[in-house]
Amino acid sequence: MPNLLVKVRKARWSPATLPSFLENGDIPADCLSDLRTKDNKLSVWYVDEGSSNLTRVLTALAASCDDLSNIDYLLFDYQIVAELGLKIRKTSGGTPDKEANSAWHRDLEELSARKVLNFATAIFYGSIVDRKQEKLVSEWLRAGIANNYLDRSKLKAKLAARVQAGVSEPEL
C-alpha cells in the first residue's frame, strides 16, 4: 500500500512522550504547528509501496531548507486520507527537484480546522515517525546535485555553501 509523507519535528509526534494532562486519544497542540496550511491546503508527498522514492522525496524536501540539518517526517498510510474523506490532488511542489515536484507532490485540499485536527489525530496514532541525520542528508544533497536532479541555483545560499563544502557541522 502506498504511503504519504509530511515533514515535521519528530519530538512533537512521539506517543511515548505524551504530556500527562492529555485525555485518552488526544494529541499535543504543538503537533498542529507542523501542519501548516496555505489557502486551506496542506502539502504532502506520495511515497510508493516499496518506498523506492523515499530518499528522493526527502532529498527534495531537504533541498528546500535554509540550512543543512536533520530531516524529520511522518510516513502514513494513504488510506487515512480516504477514511477521513479528505480531498487530495496531485499538484506541483516547490522544491529544487523538478521531477519530484511533478511526480510525487500532493495537496490535501478544502481543509477546515476540524479536518486538520482529525487528520493530525489520525496520523499521530497511525504513522511512522523517523529522522534522517544531517550527515546522510548532506550526502543525498551532494548526490542530487551531482546527478543533476537538484537545481543547485534554487538552493538557499547557506545550504548550498554547506553542501558544496561537505560540511556537516558549522565551523568555528
Q: Which amino acid is at 74?
A: L
Residue 172 banded pLDDT, cuts 50, 70, 90: very low
Contact 78, 2 (CB under 8 A): yes
33, HSE (Cβ side, Cα atoms, 13 Å): 7
pTM of the shown model: 0.92
Q: What pLDDT is stored for residue 47 in this prediction?
A: 98
Judged against a pLDDT cut of 70, whether residue 167 lies above it is answered with no
- Angle between helices 157-165 and 134-146 in degrees, nearest 10: 90
For cell 512533537, what's the residue?
Answer: 12
Set of cell numbers at residue 95: 522544491
pLDDT tens digits along 87-113 = 999 999 999 999 999 999 999 999 999
The pLDDT of residue 76 is 97
Residue 16's SS3 state is helix
Cα 59 from Cα 20, distance rounded (Å): 36
- Closest by CA to 147, choosing from 29, 32, 56, is 56
Query: Positive or negative, the Cα torsion across 79, 80, 81, 83?
Result: positive
Cα 12 from Cα 36, distance rounded (Å): 14
Q: In the chain, where are the structural domains located?
A: 3-11+28-150
What pLDDT, in 10s, does the model give residues 46-76?
Answer: 999 999 999 999 999 999 999 999 999 999 9
